[in-house]
Structure 1
Amino acid sequence: MEQNREELLKHLAASLKDAKEDGGAILLVGAGNSVSAGIPPAQKLMKIAIENFPNYFTEEEQKLAKEDLSQLQYNDIMTKLSNVKRKELFKWFIEGNEDKGIEKAKLNFAHIAIAELLKQGYFSRILTVNFDPLLIHACYMVGMYPFPAIYDLGAMGKVNAELLHDPSIVYLNGQHVGFVQRNTTDQLEAHKETLSQIVRSTGCSKTWVVAGYSGENDPLMDALNELRPYNNWLYWLEYSNQVLQKESHNFLENDEECKVIYQCDADETFMNISYLLDCSLDFIERPYKELEMYLEEIRFETSKTSQHRYTAKIKKYIEILETNTAISQFKHADQVDMLLAYLEDLIANKIPSPHEENLKKIIEVCERISQLSPDHDATYWYWGDALFATAKLEGIDKNEFLEEAEIKYQLSIEKDISEDINIKARKLYELYRYQHSLTNDETTKNDLLKKALASLNLCTELSLEKAKVYSLLNEPKLAVSHLNKIKYKNKNTSILGSLLSFFNYSIEDVISDEDFHPIKNHPDFQHWVEQKQKESISA
């Protein structure tokens, strides 16, 4: 019977809880764990390598880098670069490179959650095929002390794996600051026995978790295969809907001791596991815990002149953070976070309920969040959306809900005018146009159009809507003036050009739009149409 993802994650959490009692589980991580942190996956690294060092690659490889990367092998591409060039390539992403527009990699929540799980004893050893130092940085960030042992096997030949000390982070193929980074076919093949020793010494009686690792063309995968059976489970966290369809991977879906959990985004999955284990991120949620550790682990008397000043300061900070007011504020923030998460579930329709009931829940949650966090602009945005959607339902007092929706949209803009202003302003525009369609009173119609125009004036981008409003207000010169500011696709525009065009308007769209009927016979509009049609033909 196929188990769903949630059940399997609970099963994994239960195994980790038991593993903690037996010394901790083993975690093997691959490149997928660091992608959201800013370290590109293998295929993107190949493309970047070929683009930046083209003289080392054939014309065919350069062509495939542009057209079909799937035909290139990562190990083969890296073989074409020297150790120095490969090291330079990794450094761009780990440390950042301003000249190439590459930002320095930052910790993601997979790193943070893994480090906390290591700190709390759920994992005893982390094996990584990555070169980046992000897991080490995460251990520092979560206040892990003593620090885990760090082993770099990339530059080592034979290794006595039995002497590894846990907790530890083991760089199987080297670090970016190490002497060797093993990522060519020959380097990995020569390293095969060392990898096998590490896997064998770790043993099959431990719980194994593998995440962000494809195992493609890697002798480490053979070592994992040889270790079977996994007497205490192997959990393979797979990002896609299926594991790599190779003989080396067949055991993952065939062995009853192996559990593959599909569609596992690293950040979401490890945070979910931490939640299931009640493994809180104390450095964020209880910052005084780290200060308490300083008092326990530092010999303050070795600083004769500053001993009392430092300890007094730390104790004062702890006192401030542990006051009822501070704890109340932390709990308050937690409440807001939980409500926001629930709100996002409702909006994504993850919680099944009738449409109208779902909208009521969204409105109720938004009202609660606004009481706890009155300056959270997105809350008013969601609130306005729910009210607007409710107004469109049958048998509803539309005016009441539309008036409330207008207030909430305006509040969202007031709370933060810079955040998503184009989207917010357009939503207000849609609201006014909807109200415009409901009334027959000309004065009211004009007032609503002016409001719609005012909302569009908040936008930083050009749009056809503003010209429509001027047309409906019977202001042909202003309508044409705005139409002249917009770019239009012509009859000869390619499909690709159409896809790349942000607005994607054509002259025919304008002519056929009912909103432009009030000015269709005005000389200025007719002249504009004739001019644009000529330009379209000649383009």
Structure 2
Amino acid sequence: MAKFTKDQIKLLARQMLTKRDSGRPFNLLTGAGCSKSSDIPLAAELVKEIQEKFGAEIEDKLDQHQRNDYGACMSCLGTNERRELLSKYLDNPKINWAHIAIASLIHAGFVSRVITFNFDSILARACSLLGLYPATYDFAAAATVDTDYIAQQAIIHLHGQGTGKSLLNSDEETKAHAENIRPLIRATFQDSPLLVIGYSGSSDAVFPVIAEEYKRKERLWWAGYADIPDTSIANFINLNSKVSYYLGGCDADEFLIELAKELNCFPPALFSDPYGHLLKDLEPVTEFPFEKLGSVDLLTHLKKELAKSQQRYNVNRKIPELMMKGDWDAVISLSDRKNPDHQDALAWAHTMYAGQLVKSGKANKDESLLKKSFEQF
């Protein structure tokens, strides 16, 4: 296997579109790879940090092999030490493009629930940028057999949240918790396809539960960073090869952006029409009580200013597109002579338009076009 192809993206996108339209959108299962570009370290990087800070402690408790195991190393730290280790990464991580793309997929209805091994709140914050607020559940604090109450749009933290009561990261904790989340895994496979991304599945107590509960009722896609999956993932995919797929070389940012673009939901309005996005966000806001306060109408004033800015923004964005098409007459019509940002484009458009008029005038022996060309200067 090698890096994922455009055809594979198209196939996945087609399945996601079909499932959305049938009322059974995909679920996502995400791991640390989705947060890597937010500067949240992977397990191997945390192991290295533990070795540097707590070398004597782990050498006394673990054999050579265990010293490179994330869960085993975490088992040698106290709860407070673990929180201190992780807090600097979890307190205020940057929002990366993988999670913005996931939020776009949720917003467009292609993804329902996101089940994550990650402690961070990046996805919730990415969703809020888009004016989306899915329900959030912490299964480390309250795992349950009954999953019917879980909202259709939801973020489910399997091992806890950075702000929550419990962060499950030692071998003992994750193994004990694996059975607690079995009902959720079973329900996840029941009616919807699953896309796995950023999750290695190796040396993990949850992976055997996934392998046992997957009954081929729906399709499963596994997007991995490695070109070739490790043995456990390869065996799982091969066992279910008729309805499962492995995509290699998947950098989370790149892959999810490509997928969202294929589904025509990227970039989200925040980036393609920021002023329109803000105007839409203001729609639910009640009227400002300016008469009672003897004040200006803050809401109406803001909406008017945003609408003006939106119009200017759309013009500024349209001009380069028209120049690339060679539609010089339209560039001239849209440009504002008083706007210094438009002057270079306007001068170039007049020059190119004059050339077009001269060429057309000579070809058609039309004196009016030649005269019009001189008016461009």
C-alpha deviation, 1:70, in angstroms = 9.2
1:165 CA displacement: 1.0
Would you say the 8 A contact 2:33–2:198 is kept in 1?
yes
Tell me the distance in 2 between the aligned counterparts of 1:8 and 1:120: 20
Matched with 1:85 is 81
The structure that has the greater radius of gyration is: 1
Instruction: Report the counterpart of residue 330 of structure 1 in structure 2.
Output: 317
Match of 2:186 in 1: 200
Aligned counterparts of 1:302 and 1:23: Cα–Cα separation in 2: 44
Check whether the contact 1:83–1:180 (CA below 8 A) recurs between aligned residues. no
What does residue 127 of structure 1 align with? 115
Determine the C-alpha separation between the residues in 1 that align with 2:323 and 2:180.
Answer: 50
The letter for the 2-side match of 1:194 is: N
SS class of match (1:151) = strand
1:292 is the counterpart of 2:273 = no
In structure 2, relative to structure 1, the CA distance for the partners of 1:3 and 1:78 (3 Å cut) is closer
- Partner amino acid for 1:7? D
Equivalent residues of 1:124, 1:166 under 8 A apart = yes
- Alpha-carbon distance in 1 for matches of 2:320, 2:117: 37
- 1:224 to 2:193 alignment: no
Higher relative contact order (CA 8 A, sep 6+): 2
Q: CA deviation at 1:159?
A: 4.2
Shift in Å, 1:27: 0.4
Quickly say closer, same or farther: Cα 1:4–1:211, change in 2 above 3 A.
closer
What per-residue deviation string (whole Å, max 9, x for no partner) do you get for residues 296-332 of structure 1?
2222357753896222233213322332x42132245
Which of 229, 245, 253 lines up with 2:238 in the alignment? 253
d(CA) in 1 for partners of 2:85, 2:320: 41
Q: Give the CA deviation at 1:221.
A: 1.2
- The DSSP-based 3-state class of the residue aligned with 1:160 is coil
Give the equivalent residue in structure 2 for 1:239: 225
Structure 1: gaps of 5 or more residues: 96-103, 338-370, 373-539
1:174 CA drift (Å): 0.2
1:446-457 to 2 correspondences below 5 Å: none
Residue 120 of structure 2 aligns with an amino acid whose one-letter code is: D
| 1:27–1:127 CA contact under 8 A, matched in 2 | yes
Aligned counterpart in structure 1 of residue 102 of structure 2, from 87, 106, 114: 114
Residues of 2 paired with 1:224 and 1:25: CA distance?
Answer: 16
Separation in structure 1 between the aligned mates of residue 69 and residue 172 of structure 2, nearest angstrom: 13
SS at match of 1:317: helix
Deviations along 1:422-461, one digit per CA (max 9) or x if unpaired, are: xxxxxxxxxxxxxxxxxxxxxxxxxxxxxxxxxxxxxxxx
Give the aligned partner of residue 10 of structure 1.
Answer: 10
Q: How many matched pairs?
A: 324
Of the structure 1 ranges 2-11 and 267-276, higher mean CA displacement relative to structure 2 is found in: 2-11
Aligned: 1:172 with 2:173: no
Residues 1:158 and 1:59: Cα distance change in structure 2 (over 3 Å): same
Percent identical pairs in the alignment equals: 28
Q: Distance in 2 between matches of 1:4 and 1:188?
A: 31
Equivalent residue number for residue 315 of structure 1: 303
Counterpart code for 1:132: D
Separation in structure 2 between the aligned mates of residue 6 and residue 188 of structure 1, nearest angstrom: 36
Contact kept, 8 Å, 2:4 with 2:248, in 1: the verdict is no
Corresponding letter in the other structure for 1:296: E
1:81–1:300 distance in 2 versus 1, CA, 3 Å? farther
Corresponding residue for residue 155 of structure 1:
141
> How many Å separate the matches in 1 of 2:238 and 2:295?
59
Checking the alignment, whether the CA contact within 8 Å between 1:35 and 1:41 is kept in structure 2 is yes
Question: In the alignment, which residue of structure 1 is the partner of 2:270?
Answer: 283
**Contact in 1 for aligned 2:186/2:214 (Cα 8 Å):** no
Q: Secondary structure at the match of 1:57?
A: helix
Question: Of 65, 73, 76, which aligns to 2:72?
Answer: 76
The question of whether the paired residues in 1 share the 8 Å contact of 2:38 and 2:94 is answered with yes
Does the residue aligned with 1:154 lie in a helix, a strand or coil? helix
Deviation track 1:107-142 (CA, whole Å, cap 9, x = no partner) reads 111011111111221111000000011111111122
Rounded to whole Å, the distance in 1 between the matches of 2:10 and 2:307 is 37
2:147 partner letter? A
Deviations 1:153-206 (A, max 9, x none): 112253421211121000010011111111111111211222211111223431
Which residue does the alignment assign to 1:267?
253
Residue aligning to 2:38 = 37
Deviation at 1:4, TM superposition (A): 5.8
CA contact (8 A) 1:211 1:236 kept: yes
Q: What's the TM-score once normalised by structure 2's chain length?
A: 0.78
**TM-score after normalising by structure 1:** 0.55
Change in 2 beyond 3 A, CA 1:221/1:251:
same
- In the other structure, the counterpart of 1:20 is 20
Deviates more, 1:169-178 or 1:228-237: 228-237
